[in-house]
Amino acid sequence: MTRQYFGTDGIRGRVGTPPITPDFVLRLGMAAGRILASHFDEPAVLIGKDTRVSGYILEAALEAGFASSGVDVVLAGPMPTPAIAYLTRTLRLSAGVVISASHNPFEDNGIKFFDGQGEKLPDAMELEIEKVIDQPQFCADPHLLGKARRLDDAAGRYIEFCKGTFPSRLSLKGLRIVVDSAHGAAYHVAGSVFHELGAEVIPLGDAPDGFNINQNLGAASPQAMAQKVLDVKADFGIALDGDGDRLAMADASGRLFNGDELLYVLARSRVRHKGKGSVQGVVGTLMSNLALEHRLEAMGLDFRRAKVGDRYVLEMLKETGWELGGESSGHLLCLDKHTTGDGIVSALQVLAALVWSEQSLEEYLGDLQLYPQVMINHPMAADLDWKNHAGFQRVYQDVSQAIEGSGRVLIRPSGTEPVLRIMVESPDKAEATRHAQALADALT
């Protein structure tokens, strides 16, 4: 069955434009409630959200939809996506729902689901929901209606969970850390985690107003965090995205480090401290830097590429039985610590590696030099058939032959935006730029 609503990371779009409208979200809640009620005797869901102003109306619509289908609702308020995954599991609920558009601007919003184990909702259940969402919905009998309550201690529970993933014999005392929450869902929890582990925290992006989420801040725009590190002479900078599952970091010099580099830190640290056998392999994506693959293989570790999207990284990790995976965008998975990507938990694992080694990020990554990747996002018109575009395919073949053995070409439609992503990777940045531009020009 072809997906109509669910993308690689739930349902997402501009608020007020289908499907992100109150009436659709109400029907989504009713449809999801019907499916949950068919699988569980006493279904209950946890609903969390980020700080977008639209979260109020979408939360109310979801709550009404679930309750009208006989599903109890627990409201967590603004909380990071990984917090909802953790709390859903620890509270033994049927599912968790997050209202967020992650790193997108405030005008967008979205809905994504977790199952009762705190993992992405299986494709099969998403398809079940899609199958009934456009059918006539109905309200349960009055004596079967669901109830709603608020989880008042959600933040405290999650803070303690995050702290528990950091080695108890280590401390962050003596470190000054800039923590950029992107005015998003982690604004009231991220700083507390690092502070309670001993660090001096300089907060950034911790004053959401409903409209400023991800605005020139966060993991997708980490330059402000890096500059703040320089301004206050901090040791590290940590930038999360709007829903707290993505991570970027900076060192004392203001140099930024992306997800590929941080994933390498996690793999190398585990090999150092737990032995080579503790890490059989690492999962990246089609976008992961070729240099990362080469370096991990030099360490004797297998490396596999999943489709872009942390759900696909997770699927491959479960298939292989491995624990470490991630995307260059900063979605990192440490399945020995959490069931899903978590920016705060990932940052703690990186910091633990550096505290253990008494090295800076740059020193720890001294043997990994990423290859330049040039990305062009070409507008994806409805009638653009790039696979059968003769001129584009001719240029694609020419570029592929020119960099064969030393680089890569990757063409893929975005799963979240109406663009065609054109990426060329090569040790020579000028060459990569020239080839990427030639591919984009072939479509104009």
Check 102, 221, 328, 329 and give the catalytic one.
Answer: 102
For residue 284, the SS3 value is strand
* Phi, psi dihedrals of residue 374, rounded to the nearest 5°: -110, 120
- DSSP letter, residue 36: H
Gyration radius of the chain's alpha carbons: 22
Q: Give start and end residues of each alpha helix (H) in 165-199.
A: 190-196
- DSSP letter, residue 444: -
For residue 439, the SS3 value is helix
Distance of CA 169 to the CA centre of its chain: 29
Instruction: Supply the angle between the helices 22-39 and 123-133 in degrees, to the nearest 10.
Output: 120
For the chain, the straight-line distance linking the first and the last C-alpha, in angstroms and rounded, comes to 33
Rounded CA gap, 313 and 260, in Å?
Answer: 13
- Active site annotation includes 54: no
Interior/surface letters 326-337, b for 16+ CB within 10 angstroms, e for the rest: bbbbbbbbbbeb
Rounded CA gap, 89 and 175, in Å?
Answer: 33
Overall residue count recorded for the chain in this entry: 444
Structure tokens of 299?
A: 């360490």
Residues belonging to the active site: 102
